[in-house]
Amino acid sequence: MAIDVVVNQRHLQIQLKQLETVWHTVINGYNLSQAATVLHTSQSSLSKHIAALENQLKTEVFVRQGKRLTGLTTMGTALMPHIESIFAEIRTIENLSLDFNNPNVGTLTIATTHTQARYVLPEVVKEFKERFPKVNLILQQADPETIAQMVIRGQADIGIATESLLHNNYLRCYRYYDWTHRVIVPSDHELAGLESIDLPTLASYPIVTYHGGFTGRGAIDKTFSDAGLEPDIVLAALDADVISTYVGLGLGIGIIAEMAFEPSHYQNLTAIPVDHFGRFTSWMAVRDDAEIRQYGRAFMELCQKQFNN
């Protein structure tokens, strides 16, 4: 009887490994090499797991183009919701166990943009570390699309960004805060002191702003394009500090996120409110299929409290 139990447990572990392989292959865009890296194993090992599962099911799970996986078959599509449910429950049970035994010990990984990490999160991080000194807090900075993928793949517990998070079925999103852009110019600039600037006037000056895909740059480009204007973007950067530095050197006028303007750091610059590019919302996102640790929820509560006081 004991031998039968051990054999059955081993068989269950193998089946779970096969299902885990399918899951990670799908969320990593059918890239076996990438899935193998996430699972800390070899590509050939994953291929064997997939082959064994398909042999057991007596049908293919993946559509193939040569040796490359390109999508799910009808069977694979039907299988995925059940695989998601299984691993959601496993992750939830693991987190419940950890919270019960060591509620204030562990690692919390936050994937976010430089703008959030540099200008928005410092006070939250400070308060969080005071409350949870034994939690190892990791801030991973990336572009919005990468942030979404990091949360989906389990490389980050929480993602914080403006773009890319809402448009993903694997993520559950929570509103963080709203923001707009500001135009920044040297204090002695001819535009300094204005309460607003129209689009044609903005487009008539060389502009320093964000790189494509960051901090509302897409909305900036679209707004000018819709108005039939072609702005002269003389420099694009990922960081508002870099933008502010070059505006201070006279390279052009800057367009940055409102939370990124620090007058105490750049006393030679002044900011002018603009609403041409719209109002944006920064979101916090977690995996939709499992609960995170209690201290992760506490971090999100601190974030929301930050803008509700």
Domain co-membership, 159 together with 292? yes
Q: Determine the Cα–Cα distance for residues 20 and 35; give it in Å rounded to an integer.
A: 10
Domain co-membership, 80 together with 32? yes
Last residue in a domain, options 53, 84, 115: 84
Q: What are the backbone angles phi and psi of residue 70, rounded to the nearest 5°?
A: -120, -10
202-243: pLDDT as tens digits: 999 999 999 887 788 999 999 999 999 999 999 999 889 999
Domain co-membership, 27 together with 100? no
Domain co-membership, 183 together with 129? no
- CATH number, domain of 294, equals 3.40.190.10
Domain co-membership, 66 together with 27? yes
Domain co-membership, 150 together with 212? no
Last residue in a domain, options 32, 62, 84: 84
Checking if the pLDDT of 5 tops 50, the result is no
Q: Is 269 strand, coil or helix?
A: strand
- Asked whether residue 90 is domain-assigned, the answer is no
45-101: pLDDT as tens digits: 999 999 998 888 899 999 998 888 999 999 999 988 888 778 777 777 777 777 777
- Asked whether residue 10 is domain-assigned, the answer is no
| Domain assignment of residue 127, given as a range | 96-177+281-306
- 36: tokens are 């193998």
Buried b (16+ CB within 10 A) or exposed e, 271-287: bbebebbeebebbbbbb
Please state the pTM of the whole predicted model.
Answer: 0.74
The number of distinct structural domains making up the chain is: 3
Domain co-membership, 290 together with 259? no
Domain co-membership, 74 together with 193? no
Last residue in a domain, options 31, 52, 84: 84
